Amino acid sequence: MLGPENGTPRDDFPVRVRDLLRERAVWMLPLVLASVVVMTMTALYLASAVDPLAHARGLPVKVVNSDRGATVGTEHLDFGRRIEAGLRASPTVSRRLQLEPVTLAAAERAMSRGQAYATIVIPPGFTASRLAQAGHPTAGVTDGGTDGAADGGAVQLLTNPRAGTLGVSLAAGIVAPAVAATSQVISGQLAAVAGTGAHESATTAFLANPVTVTTSQFHPPPANSALGLSAFYLALLTLMCGFLAGTILHSTVDAALGYGTSEVGPRWTQLQPKAISRWRTLLIKWAMAAVLTGVVTGLMIAVAAGAVGMDAPHPLLLWLYAWLCAASVAAGTIVLFAVLGTPGQLVAILLFVYAGLASAGGTVPIEALPGFFRLLSEAEPLRQILAGDRAILYFEAQAGAGLTRGVVGAAIGLLCWVVVGALIVRWYDRRAMHRLTPELLAYVDRSVQDFRARGRAG
Q: How many angstroms separate the CA atoms of 320 and 93, rounded?
A: 41
Q: Looking at 217, 251, 282, which one is the last position of a domain?
A: 217
Q: pLDDT at residue 236 above 90?
A: yes
pLDDT of residue 140: 46
Is there a single domain that holds both residue 175 and residue 246? no
Q: Provide the 3-class DSSP secondary structure of residue 42.
A: helix
Tell me, yes or no, whether 449 lies in a domain: no
Return the higher-pLDDT residue of 192 and 361: 361
Q: What is the pTM of this model?
A: 0.86
Strand partners, 121: 64, 156
Of 191, 217, 243, the position where a domain reaches its end is 217
Question: 303 and 188 in one domain?
Answer: no
DSSP at 401: G
For 118-144, write each residue's pLDDT tens digit: 999 999 888 888 888 777 665 444 444
pLDDT, average across residues 45-69: 89
Domain assignment present for 453: no
- Nearest one of 91, 87, 96, 115 to 57, comparing CA atoms: 96
Q: Examine residue 234 and state whether it is found in any structural domain, yes or no.
A: yes
Examine residue 264 and state whether it is found in any structural domain, yes or no: yes
Contact partners, residue 144, CB within 8 Å, separation at least 6 = none
- pLDDT single digits (tens) 347-371: 999 999 989 988 988 888 999 999 8
Sorting pLDDT into bands at 50, 70 and 90, what band is 273? confident
Q: Identify whether 451 is part of a domain.
A: no
Q: How many domains does the chain have?
A: 3
Residue numbers of the domain that contains 124: 57-217
Q: 448 in a domain, yes or no?
A: no
Question: Is beta strand 262-264 parallel, antiparallel or unpaired with respect to 267-269?
Answer: antiparallel
Indicate if 22 and 64 belong to the same structural domain.
no
For residues 135 and 96, state if they share a domain.
Answer: yes
174 and 282 assigned to the same domain: no
CA-to-CA separations, 72 to 69, 146, 190, in angstroms, rounded: 10, 14, 11
| Mean pLDDT, rounded, for 238-266 | 91
Who wins on pLDDT, 283 or 191? 283
Using DSSP, how many helices (H) and how many strands (E) does the chain show?
Answer: 18, 9
Q: Which H or E run includes 100?
A: strand 97-101
Closest CA to 249 of 131, 151, 331: 331
14 plus 74 within the same structural domain:
no
**Residue pLDDT, tens place only, 285-339:** 999 999 999 999 999 999 999 999 999 999 999 999 999 999 999 999 999 999 9
Look at residue 9 in the predicted model and tell me its pLDDT: 65
Identify the residue with better confidence: 443 or 329.
329
Which residues pair with residue 216 across a beta bridge? 158
Which letter does DSSP use for residue 400 in this model?
G
CA angle 46, 372, 48 (to 5 degrees): 20
What's at 265, amino acid-wise? G
pLDDT at 186 over 70: yes
Q: In terms of domains, do 206 and 239 share one?
A: no
User: What's 125's domain CATH number?
Assistant: 3.40.1710.10
What is the structure's pLDDT at 69?
80
Cα 295 to Cα 388: distance, rounded to the nearest angstrom: 20
Does residue 339 sit within a domain? yes
Is 430 domain-assigned? yes
pLDDT of res. 394? 94
Do residue 41 and residue 85 come from a single domain? no
Residue 186 and residue 308 in one domain: no
**Mean of all residue pLDDT scores within the chain:** 87
- Is 276's pLDDT higher than 60? yes
How confident is the model over 235-243, as a mean pLDDT? Answer: 96
